[in-house]
Amino acid sequence: MNNLEKAVELLKNGNYKLVAVSDNEEITSIQRGVKPLLEILDSRKNLHEFSVADKVIGKAAAFLYVLLDVREIYTDVISKSALDVLKNNEINIEYKTLAEAIKNRSNTGFCPMETAVQNTNDAETALVLIREKLKQISI
């Protein structure tokens, strides 16, 4: 079983929202959204050697995966704009469902993170926008 298969199995069989697997390490999170990705990024960990499985990937998360230097990802649901970001950055992606956009948790509109980064194609700019949006919605 390769690392991506291990990550997908852990995602499906555990209560995780995010799983990253390398030959020597497993990272798991039960947190939703971009917060676990920001924590990994803030820890200065590079995920180049990791295969990732994630429940949902919107454009904001896709930019964070670019910054984390991930090479391959599986997700249950991905937005079209996230798929474009990953493909443009040569990240291999497998997915179950392609969505027009990711909806917010109350299903009343679009995900605030996806909306925050909709007009950028730059990962560093997206990171600034993500952090700004998180500050706004956590007040």
The tokens for 9 are 């199995």
pTM reported for the whole predicted model: 0.94
Model pLDDT for residues 76-119, shown as the tens digit of each residue: 999 999 999 999 999 999 999 999 988 888 888 789 899 999 99
- Considering all CA atoms of the chain, what is the largest pairwise distance in Å, rounded to the nearest integer? 44
Strands 92-99 and 72-79: parallel
The architecture of the domain spanning 3-137 is 3-Layer(aba) Sandwich (3.40)
State CA 56 to chain mean position distance: 7
Q: Does 139 have pLDDT greater than 70?
A: no
CA atoms within 13 A on the CB side of 1: 11
Burial 42-55 (b: 16+ CB within 10 A, else e): eeeeebeebbbbbe
Taking the CA atoms of 99, 103, 109 and 111 in sequence, report the sign of the dihedral they define: negative
Q: Where are the domains of the chain?
A: 3-137
CA atoms of 27 and 29, how far apart (whole Å): 7
pLDDT, residue 52, reads 98
